[in-house]
Amino acid sequence: MNKVGQNPARPVSGPLAGLRVLDLSQVYLGPYATFLMAKAGAEVIKIEPLHGEPARRRGELGSSATLPFCMLNANKKNVTLNLKEQAGRELLIEMVKRAGVLVETFAPGVMDKLGVGWSVLHETNPRLIYGSGTGFGLSGPDRDTLAMDLTVQAMSGVMSVTGEPDGPPMKAGPAFVDFISGIHLYGGIVTALFERERTGRGRLVEIAMEEAGVHTLASNLGLMHQNQAVPPRTGNRHGGLSLSSYNVYPCRDGHVAIICMGEHHWQALCRSFGHDDILTDPRFATNARREHAADG
């Protein structure tokens, strides 16, 4: 068993010290959830197929391509198991007997087909908390739709509100749905750990990337219900076009992001620029007038 990014001479501490986590997840979502557990003191054992998980294999593109893998899997132990072989499945079941949490991000039904799904592992270890992260959940009409961050940004509606008004829908720069989904999964597992302290029993914890993405649209959905229409894309301006200044502006050495949530912010901005005269200009006297002037 390999141990990566951990000082064996330093005693493990943290709120999750003493917890053993089996990590069968891949790429970003699950590994980020277990990364947070490892940072909190859990013993995380990353289980990969013999050829390595996809993020590890990105090293074929160049050494820097593996940096995300190294970051997300720091402080974890590493083993390989071939779950397509009976011996590999038997070894996993033996490991589950001594674990508190298992995390996987396979498509729905994959673990069941292998004979090591939630029902089997729960019977093996009733205290096991089984965390599952999928694109669209373990049930529902889109259950079997394959998912990656890009496609979930599209289907959740995130891309519909990102970009310029006269341009196409755009994805966010980072794979943020993967990472907020990892936070959701981490939170669900930690909540289940708290419950287990009371009941003595584990449970299935599942998250869907689409649901995590929809949660980020709180303001946009509020505007849609308020106006009974899908709000337009607004680029870097406020989604509801109700705050000004709120944008990314060119400046001498690049760009600067400015947001004024209230009148006192606007007044402080004008004074910092040495333009107190703007404060008495009727064209900019209210937030609504300033926002309207931004179109001019």
Q: Which of 117, 34, 17 is nearest to 78 (CA)?
A: 34
The full set of domains in the chain, from first to last, is 2-215 (3.40.50.10540), 246-293 (no CATH)
Q: What local confidence, expressed as pLDDT, does residue 229 receive?
A: 84
CB 24 within 8 A of CB 180: no
**What's the whole-model pTM score?**
0.88
Both tokens of 17, joined, read 């010290």
What tens digit of pLDDT does each residue of 188-247 get? 999 999 999 999 999 999 999 999 999 999 988 888 888 888 888 989 988 776 777 889
Q: What local confidence, expressed as pLDDT, does residue 293 receive?
A: 67
Q: 163 — alpha (psi -120 to 50), left (phi > 0) or beta?
A: left
Which residues are identified as catalytic?
238
**Residue 9's pLDDT band (cuts 50, 70, 90):** very low
What tens digit of pLDDT does each residue of 242-295 get? 777 889 999 999 999 999 988 899 999 999 989 999 898 888 888 878 876 665
Residue scoring higher pLDDT (157 or 1): 157
Q: What are phi and psi of 4, to 5 degrees?
A: -115, 130
**Residue 56's pLDDT band (cuts 50, 70, 90):** confident
Rounded CA separation 118/109 (Å): 10
DSSP category for residue 58: G
Rounded CA separation 78/52 (Å): 10
CB 103 within 8 A of CB 185: yes
CB 162 within 8 A of CB 170: yes
Q: What local confidence, expressed as pLDDT, does residue 11 receive?
A: 62
Tell whether the model's pLDDT for residue 14 goes beyond 80.
Answer: yes
Q: What local confidence, expressed as pLDDT, does residue 79 receive?
A: 96
